[in-house]
Amino acid sequence: MTTLLDVRNVSKSFTMGGIFGRKTVNAVMDASFSLSAEKPEIFTIIGESGSGKTTLARMILGLEDPSEGEILFQGQKVSRHASKAERLAFMSKVQPVFQNPFEAFNPLKKIERYLESTARQFLHTKDRAAIDRAMDEALQKVGLSLKEVRGRFPHEMSGGQLQRCAIARALIPNPPLLITDEPVSMVDASLRMSIVNLLKSLRDDLKVSVIYITHDLATAYYISNRLIIMQRGRIVEMGDARTVLDNPQHPYSQLLKASVLSTDDAGAGKLATDPDMVKAANGLVGQAGKLVVRPDGREVRVYG
């Protein structure tokens, strides 16, 4: 197996405050997983607010360096201190899609201006026809076209359409990996599934791997191949998505699943908490993981 992405024992801590009252936050602790280059998949990172999902994504994107461990992309170490040329080469292969498409686009600029500058940057061309072609191709991949988008400002589109444009922009350099951080949480509920289905088709039709960061178990269940569940910076469970979510083994995963069933607020990262379950889940943070072979023969890794 050729490895696309290799996250090796990665930790990240932030130190805050002055000399007095200095505080260390362990945002990510000892995370390890890898993605295959041959088998594109949707790899989901689930966890409630503050569990370290975004920090992990920022390290994969080379926006933060790990405090410990290392991340390799196509065998090369990912680093915040790469040269401009190395950074550009890396970004042509690993592209981010953020949560709020209205923040990703300047309200005063036409949408095509973004697509255009990305095309110029990555295709190294000033040729108008080639740029238009690249923009149109990318927009077609997300079910839009340059004709539909040309001349329009962000506020003239729905959140769902704008998120498609953001995904189209990310697809311009044909990256093998997209990192999507809560890409549907700001999109109107009625349009959410269309974005989720789009991610699925990127994997199935375009062979793009997707790291899907969410706290929404339902969409995670629907599209993911594998997932990790994070609690307070630690991976507490990792495995085939349906295997884990059908029958979570770790108390925290069980808590997450139970809370989805018991509150409307789970989508906002708030959990209805059973104090005993929380205690059991917290007690296991930081312990070594073990591979559990379930009666059906499938394996999940459970930490604790």
Ligand X SMILES: Nc1ncnc2c1ncn2[C@@H]1O[C@H](COP(=O)(O)OP(=O)(O)OP(=O)(O)O)[C@@H](O)[C@H]1O
Q: Interface with ligand X by CB under 6 A: which residues?
A: 14, 16, 25, 27, 47, 49-55, 269
CA distance linking residue 85 with residue 24, whole number of Å: 34
β-pairing verdict for 23-36 and 289-293: unpaired
Task: Report how far Cα 97 is from the mean position of its chain's Cα atoms.
Answer: 8
Q: Is 32 helix (H, G, I), strand (E, B) or coil?
A: strand
Evaluate whether 243 touches 300 at the Cβ level (below 8 Å).
Answer: yes
Q: What minimum distance in Å lies between the beta carbon of 28 and ligand X?
A: 7
Long-range CB pairs of 174-177 (<8 Å, 24+ gap) are 174/92, 175/92, 175/93, 175/94, 175/95, 175/208, 176/4, 176/37, 176/40, 176/93, 176/207, 176/208, 176/209, 177/4, 177/5, 177/35, 177/73, 177/93, 177/94, 177/95, 177/208, 177/209, 177/210, 177/211
Q: Whose Cβ is closer to ligand X: residue 14's or residue 153's?
A: 14
The CB-of-138 to ligand X minimum distance in angstroms stands at 27
Minimum Å gap between C-beta 196 and ligand X is 18
Among residues 52 and 101, whose Cβ is nearest to ligand X? 52
Smallest gap from Cβ 47 to ligand X, in A, equals: 5
- The smaller minimum CB distance to ligand X, of residues 51 and 180, is found at 51
Closest approach, Cβ 215 to ligand X, in A, equals 6
Residue 276, CA atoms < 13 Å, CB-side half-sphere: 0
What is the DSSP annotation of 37-55?
SSS--EEEEE--TTSSHHH
Nearer to ligand X, 267 or 304 (CB): 267
**Residue (27 or 94) nearer to ligand X, CB:** 27
- State which residue, 41 or 64, has the beta carbon closest to ligand X: 64
| CA–CA separation, 94 and 73 (whole Å) | 9
Rounded least distance, CB 118 to ligand X, Å: 25
Residue closer to ligand X by CB (options 52, 176) is 52
Least Å distance between CB 277 and ligand X?
A: 19
